[in-house]
Structure 1
Amino acid sequence: MMDWTGLPYFLAAVRSGTLRGAAEITGATHATVKRHIEVLETSYGVQLFRRTRRGLELTSAGRDLLPLAEEAELKVNEARKRVQGLDREETGVVRFSTTGTLIYEIVAPLLAKFSNAYPDIDLEIRVSDQFEDINRLQTDVSLRYAHQVEDDVIARKFYQMALVPMASRTYLETHLPIAGPKGEGLTWIGWDKAERHPDWVAETAFSLAKVRHATMDPVLQLSLARQGVGIINSAAYFTTVYPELVPVPGVTPVLDRNLWLLFHSELRRTVRVRRFIDFMSKELIALKPLLQAGM
């Protein structure tokens, strides 16, 4: 039993490269991860990791164990999916993940409607810009915004969302009249690093505007734009949600990445998951005119 208990912590340490990273993956503490790995090492009578300045490195024994541990994980997950697939009730938990760009103003109202329609189905919602691993049961259903999906899962492709440069009315009234023809004097709010000149800026009508501020938090990015900090390139839909945000004059929205609903074939047999997938699909289709606003 110690092997089954410890293997998930071993795999998490391999995938993250550190005990701290493994703790984040498993939702455990640093000390718990360390203890489980030490118990495994004592059980097998070998050292599985070497501690280096770069983090954890597998020993030869650890490398031998890795494919066997991964195979055991897949078998356990397959057994869990088969059991979950036998569920025939509209009750229980559906684990759902999506991005911060989508969740607050676009998806949250849909989740509220689903909760009212299916009061016995509970939702565990994870907001992350990382793709959750459906095959490893990190999530049941995932809504993503991407050009393509390569994962070995069932993927429902919906439609492209419209993006448009937008800013607050006050910002545009103050800065646009004195800006250069290619945006000289204007400020972009970027996604990762300030003072970087990414390709998407070069492709806009304001290719010479500077990226002076940046954040990976889409909600904060919207808030900064609403406060008059600068221009963002975001879903045209948000100009219908926040009246203080308006498209930059003279700029046409463009269709960008697609919306995808991802799930595992086995979990589709589970009634609560199927209800959630069908409900979200119907609601997302109904949202198409709004999410392609301006096209």
Structure 2
Amino acid sequence: MRTFDWELLPHFLAVARAGSLRAAAQSIGANYGTVNRSIQALEASYGVRLFHRSRRGFSLTEAGEALLPMAEGAEQKIFAARKRVEGLDRSESGKIRFSLTPTLAYDIVAPLIVRFADRYPEIDIELRLTSKVESITNDETDVSLRAARDVADDVVARKLLQLDIGVYASEEYLKSVFPSAGPGGSGLTWIGMPGGDGGHGWQSHSPFPNAAVRHEVSDGQMRTRLVSLNAGMSHLPVLLEPAFPNLRRVPGTDISPGPWLWILLHSDLRKTVRVRRFVDFLTEELRALHKHSMTQL
């Protein structure tokens, strides 16, 4: 493989995965024309067509299928080399890519990022808010905060705390709507999650089996916001309670154990000083916040 092919292979992989030049360019933050020229140069270098072009997009030729696993192997070796070198960093400076869900980002983690920046002014955090699980082993992120029952990834995983779940409504909703509720909570509103329970089993086992399920929202931040705006009641992490002063746990409901909150990082980065400082800081702050929220119950 010629030396300059290393610069072209990421574009080849992007097109193979995305199925079009435009989507590939967007996925890697490159220019459409640059990706197109890279594919043409790579095909000219090998003397074969790597993709079939059609109105439906790009699909791999037989030659492209043969190249794909070798290109992916090269990609993994480059990722591993980068992590190994970054792991030698002993300075309290540089950038950390941090991936987490919007549910925890705005009201729980944002204040912690501010405090961390005050303590370590030379460390920059690139926040990546996504509900998708970004891969650490594939170099999509450096550190990830994830809610899960268990973690099977080949990464360093630190179990922080269990996310206790309660049923919450706003103070105004409890005062103005609950007094007029009928038997089994008729007249009340649940704000649920799409596909969370097709038969609404959680509803029938609650003190409010006759409440209507409306406004099903996948994003936890939006669900919390709707509850705080008096739109109904919902199951929410107790950890959110201090960030929303008008939230109240619904009387007659119990706290139930939810998923665990984990901090994940690449094994080669655990000795990197800036990453260790950030992970230790998050661990300490989130556990303190959880302890405080539980004492308020």
Same-fold status (TM-score > 0.5) = yes
Q: Does 1:86 align with 2:73?
A: no
Question: Which residue is equivalent to 2:118?
Answer: 116
Partners of 1:2 and 1:229 in 2: how far apart? 58
Question: Which residue is equivalent to 2:49?
Answer: 47
* Letter of the structure 2 residue corresponding to residue 128 of structure 1: T
Conservation of the 8 A alpha-carbon contact between 2:241 and 2:293: no
What percent identity do the matched residue pairs reach?
47
Question: Which residue is equivalent to 2:65?
Answer: 63
The worse-fitting range, judged by mean Cα deviation, of 251-260 and 217-226 is: 217-226
Question: Which residue is equivalent to 1:175?
Answer: 177
Q: Deviations over 1:26-58 (max 9, x none)?
A: 122444434433332333233333356765432
Partners of 2:146 and 2:42 in 1: how far apart? 37
Q: CA 1:50–1:119 in structure 2 vs 1: closer, same or farther (change >3 Å)?
A: same
Q: CA 1:178–1:136 in structure 2 vs 1: closer, same or farther (change >3 Å)?
A: same
Gaps of 5+ in 2: none
Conservation of the 8 A alpha-carbon contact between 2:163 and 2:237: yes
Partners of 2:196 and 2:267 in 1: how far apart? 42
Deviation at 1:292, TM superposition (A): 4.0
1:125 is paired with a residue whose SS is strand
Question: Which residue is equivalent to 1:266?
Answer: 268
2:160 is paired with a residue whose SS is strand
Gaps of 5+ in 1: none
Partners of 1:79 and 1:188 in 2: how far apart? 50
Conservation of the 8 A alpha-carbon contact between 1:194 and 1:212: no
Partners of 2:160 and 2:240 in 1: how far apart? 19
Q: Does 1:219 align with 2:221?
A: yes
Partners of 1:35 and 1:197 in 2: how far apart? 52
Question: Which residue is equivalent to 1:107?
Answer: 109
Partners of 2:47 and 2:284 in 1: how far apart? 55
Q: CA 1:103–1:86 in structure 2 vs 1: closer, same or farther (change >3 Å)?
A: same
Partners of 1:292 and 1:17 in 2: how far apart? 48
Deviation at 1:234, TM superposition (A): 0.9
Deviation at 1:157, TM superposition (A): 0.8
Conservation of the 8 A alpha-carbon contact between 1:97 and 1:139: yes
Partners of 1:10 and 1:176 in 2: how far apart? 59
Q: Does 1:142 align with 2:144?
A: yes
Question: Which residue is equivalent to 1:189?
Answer: 191
Conservation of the 8 A alpha-carbon contact between 1:182 and 1:205: yes
Q: Does 1:277 align with 2:279?
A: yes
* Letter of the structure 1 residue corresponding to residue 6 of structure 2: W
Conservation of the 8 A alpha-carbon contact between 2:108 and 2:243: no
* Letter of the structure 2 residue corresponding to residue 118 of structure 1: Y
Question: Which residue is equivalent to 1:13?
Answer: 15
What CA RMSD, in Å, does the superposition of the two structures yield over aligned residues? 2.6
Deviation at 1:77, TM superposition (A): 1.1
Question: Which residue is equivalent to 2:291?
Answer: 289
Question: Which residue is equivalent to 2:165?
Answer: 163
Conservation of the 8 A alpha-carbon contact between 2:148 and 2:260: yes
The worse-fitting range, judged by mean Cα deviation, of 112-121 and 10-19 is: 10-19
Q: TM-score, normalised by structure 2?
A: 0.87
Q: Does 1:25 align with 2:39?
A: no
Deviation at 1:125, TM superposition (A): 1.0
Q: Deviations over 1:154-194 (max 9, x none)?
A: 10012211111212222233332343444333222233379
1:258 is paired with a residue whose SS is strand
Q: Deviations over 1:232-269 (max 9, x none)?
A: 21112333322222111211121101010100111112
How many residues are paired up?
295
Partners of 1:155 and 1:169 in 2: how far apart? 38
* Letter of the structure 1 residue corresponding to residue 82 of structure 2: R
Conservation of the 8 A alpha-carbon contact between 1:161 and 1:292: no
